[in-house]
Amino acid sequence: MMEELKIGLVGTGAIGRTHIERINNKLSGAKVIACADKNVDFCRSVAEKYGLKAYETGEEMIAAPDVDAVIVTTLDPFHAEYVLAAIAAGKPVFCEKPLAPDAETCRKIVDAEIASGKHLVQVGFMRRYDAGYMQLKEAIASRKYGEPLLLHCAHRNPSVGDDYDTPMEVENSMIHEIDVLRWLLGEDYATAEVRYGKKCRRAHDKLQDPQVMILTTKSGVRIDVEAFVTTGHCYQIKCEVVCEDGILNLPESPTINVCAGANVGHEIDSDWSTRFAEAYNTEFQQWINATKEGRVDGPTAWDGYAGQVAAAAASKARDTQSIVPIVYDEMPAFYCE
Ligand code: ISE
């Protein structure tokens, strides 16, 4: 087994830089040694700050002989081209979610990975590594509380940028629920529906907020997810699983309870980077360990594809204000191994 995994990262924006920091300063067994970005000058400044080699293009970096594995943290529309380049080079690649903005491109990646004959792709659905979700999954799988019947979930952000519009509530935010709930329940979805709440005064012209997505699974579990991304005050992720013999709730981040100023309470997270910081650490440490052993043990390219199929159905449901069936291709045997 190689001593230290040498990683090249393409896309040196905020999330890319937090991954460089976590891998190089907190985790073990790997180092980010190279980077690339379409903004070449900015990429150089990042390379200088972290002591990396800057490349003019992602393709050149992926092809470099001393780069063992690749992380893709570019803007969403560019993910696929670098994932495909890594597969063509036979190198393991971790791609932030979404794998690609549409199911067809995800399917292309799936087909390229199968044709390469090697499991190479992992998608960055970090919620699967959150301690609370892991406990929920174990409790559901044990069937100690009977069959899960209903799920009530919420995905609340304090604010979003001006470029965050109505479709992004499904495609950028609730895509996390789409993935993690499918994993939690261990089954695929059957239908999607998206309805609007009364519009919040903080939501800009191109953003209809809040929204409610309703999913049903193949066995009939009904899920409602509230997305409210202009709360103005909190980042909050809720997941309540109503089972036949018990009700299971996702815990919040543990913070101290404070009694002061005639008030008792505890702080909650104000964004996803703190709420899921530990999940990201666990996700990357496991990816490093598995990659060094030549395995992929996290969300696969197929999971990336399945997420986009459901997201596309939910988007259609939103645009047509109707219930839309979610229809997947048959899962290739490659992903059952
Ligand atoms: C953002 O892109 C993320 O991935 C966060 O995890 C999510 O909570 C947020 O709503 C998205 O905008």
**Helices assigned H by DSSP within 103-174:** 103-116, 131-142, 168
**pLDDT recorded at residue 2:** 72
Q: Verify whether ligand 1 is closer than 6 Å to residue 173 (CB atom).
A: yes
Angle CA 315–161–310, to nearest 5: 20
DSSP letter (8 states) at residue 309: H
Q: Which of 157, 175, 236, 239 to mutate to test the pocket of ligand 1 (most atoms within 8 A of CB)?
A: 157
pTM of the model: 0.96
Residues in the chain: 337
Cα 189 to Cα 147, 183, 210, distances in angstroms: 16, 11, 22
**pLDDT recorded at residue 92:** 98
CA of 257 to the centre of ligand 1 (A): 27
Closest CA to 154 of 208, 235, 217, 97: 235
CA of 78 to the centre of ligand 1 (A): 18
Q: Verify whether ligand 1 is closer than 6 Å to residue 73 (CB atom).
A: no
Instruction: Confirm if 129 and 283 have CB atoms less than 8 A apart.
Output: yes
Which ranges of the chain have pLDDT less than 70? 1
**pLDDT recorded at residue 18:** 96
pLDDT tens per residue, range 229-278: 999 999 999 999 999 999 999 998 889 999 999 999 999 998 998 999 99
Instruction: Confirm if 37 and 73 have CB atoms less than 8 A apart.
Output: no
Instruction: Confirm if 57 and 316 have CB atoms less than 8 A apart.
Output: no
Q: Which of 272, 273, 280 to mutate to test the pocket of ligand 1 (most atoms within 8 A of CB)?
A: 272
pLDDT tens per residue, range 7-49: 999 999 999 999 999 999 999 999 999 999 999 999 999 999 9
Instruction: Confirm if 324 and 193 have CB atoms less than 8 A apart.
Output: yes
Dihedral sign from CA coordinates of 271, 94, 162, 180: negative
Q: Verify whether ligand 1 is closer than 6 Å to residue 172 (CB atom).
A: yes
CA of 225 to the centre of ligand 1 (A): 14
Give the C-alpha separation, 295 to 324, whole Å.
36
Give the C-alpha separation, 286 to 227, whole Å.
29
**pLDDT recorded at residue 89:** 98
Q: Which residues pair with 195 in a beta bridge?
A: 212
Give the C-alpha separation, 194 to 225, whole Å.
9
